[in-house]
Amino acid sequence: MKEKYIGLMSGTSMDAIDCVLVEFSDTTPHVLAASQTPINEDVRIQLLALCQGTDSELEKLAALDSCLGRLFAQDILKLLESTGTDPKTVSAIGSHGQTIRHYPPGSTLANNSIQIGDPNLIVALTDITTVADFRRRDMAVGGQGAPLVPAFHNEVFRSTAKNRVILNIGGIANITNLPRDADKKVSGFDTGPGNVLMDAWVALHLEATMDSDGAWGASGTINRPLLAKLLDDAYFTNPPPKSTGREYFNMDWLNPLLADHASTAADIQATLCELTAISISDAIENYAPQTDEILICGGGIHNKHLLDRLKTHQTQRSLQSTMDHGIDPDFVEAIAFAWLAKQTLEGKPGNLPSVTGADRPVILGGIYMA
């Protein structure tokens, strides 16, 4: 039976709200419509401040929770209107929400993950049942609460012929290891920064939010001693399960490491790009050495320089876009949350304990009934 779901994702980069209307027959997703709406500068600045820590945090959190809930609903309504879709024909919305803090097990401050964008507003404005707050149920049974997309990757990208890694390069990068042997377990984790440090460095030095096509990074020279110092961080050598976010990899992390390293801003950008490429490559080498193919998704796929650097470290493997396998790399995450909502409504688990470290598979999210 064919069923329509909506997936809504606003990731660590805070670049855009990704919204998809997707039809599942069995599990194969068929995207009917998709939109990427940039988050307006004013809201983005407020969100970044909230993530970094600010005064009157609860008041600001409350205001942004409502503001994002409305923005999410607006995007959904636009997508429904543009496709002439009756909301009654949509089974549910899976809304990831905007992460403002992710404190996985082992964090000194807490063990929690907070996503905002009030699902009550989404359901009230769209009249579609909404599933949200996906991460904390996994954490409640000892998991990292992240990454959650590997179960979806396993469903749609697993091959019996090739050992595959799905590489998502968002603000943070994460890998899913899909062995071709059906008896072998899926593994995966956050490898570290994807675009988040490059974006932060660009924001400081260029009047832009990203290094378009990686051109600026490509113009610089990698500072090897600095790269070694960045890679010295324990996150890169800690064994999985592990997950991270912008509360860890940010300018407060980077600034002290930059001291004593005289480089141009472009050289630093080249070095940050290499940090992303090397930490991803090392993760694959160390935890998925049998990999034949790497299927890439997330905004980082548009950074040509980053892709070039990955290729130089992965000469033995085929690097492909998820588009080569039928799914637009810009919407894999949003489709995954549509699928996770479907899992929840069907009473099926969405987490993979072999990935998150949870004690057991659990049904994820809270259901806000229409």
Ligand X SMILES: Nc1ncnc2c1ncn2[C@@H]1O[C@H](COP(=O)(O)OP(=O)(O)OP(=O)(O)O)[C@@H](O)[C@H]1O
| Under rule CB under 6 A, residue 13 binds ligand X | yes
Q: Give the residues across from 24 on adjacent strands.
A: 3, 29
What element of type H or E holds 113?
Answer: strand 112-116
Question: Where does this chain touch ligand X (CB under 6 A) — which range of 9-17, 73-81, 87-95, 158-166?
Answer: 9-17
Dihedral sign computed on CA atoms, order 206, 212, 218, 224: positive
Applying CB under 6 A, which of residues 6, 7, 11, 76 lies at the interface with ligand X? 11
CB-nearer residue toward ligand X: 178 or 179: 178
Q: What is the DSSP string of 169-216?
A: ESSEEEEEEE-SSTTSPPEEEEEEESSHHHHHHHHHHSSSSS-GGGHH
210 binds, among Mg ion, ligand X, none (CB under 5 to 8 A by kind): ligand X
Which residue of 7, 11, 104, 194 would you call a contact of Mg ion, by CB under 5 A? 11
- Residue 239 to residue 356: CA distance in whole angstroms: 12
Selected range binding Mg ion among 4-12, 48-56, 101-109, 156-164, rule: CB under 5 A: 4-12
CB 366 within 8 A of CB 37: no
Residues 6+ apart with CB under 8 A from 91: 3, 4, 5, 129, 341, 342, 345
Task: Identify what 195 binds: ligand X, Mg ion, none; CB under 5 to 8 Å per kind.
Answer: ligand X
Least distance in Å: CB of 45 to ligand X? 15
Q: Of 245 and 353, which CB lies nearer to ligand X in the complex structure? A: 245
15 binds Mg ion (CB under 5 A): yes
| Residues 301-320: x where in contact with ligand X by CB under 6 A, - otherwise, as a string | -xx-----------------
Owner of token pair 């699902």:
119
In 187-304, where do the E strands start and end?
187-193, 293-297
Measure the CA–CA gap between 122 and 330, rounded to whole angstroms.
23
CB closer to ligand X, 115 vs 291: 115
Interface with ligand X, residue 95, by CB under 6 A: no
Q: How far is the CB of 64 from ligand X (least distance, A)?
A: 16
Check residue 330 for interaction with Mg ion (CB under 5 A).
Answer: no
**Binding residues for Mg ion, how many (CB under 5 A)?**
3
CB 305 within 8 A of CB 220: no
Q: Contact region for Mg ion (CB under 5 A) — 5-13, 115-123, 175-183, 222-230?
A: 5-13
What sign has the CA pseudo-torsion 364, 366, 369, 370? negative
Site for ligand X in 159-218 (CB under 6 A): 168, 170-172, 195, 199, 210-214
Which residues make Cβ contacts (< 8 Å) with residue 108, sequence separation at least 6?
none
| Binding interface with Mg ion (CB under 5 A) | 11, 13, 15
| Binding interface with ligand X (CB under 6 A) | 9, 11-13, 15, 168, 170-172, 195, 199, 210-214, 298-300, 302-303, 333
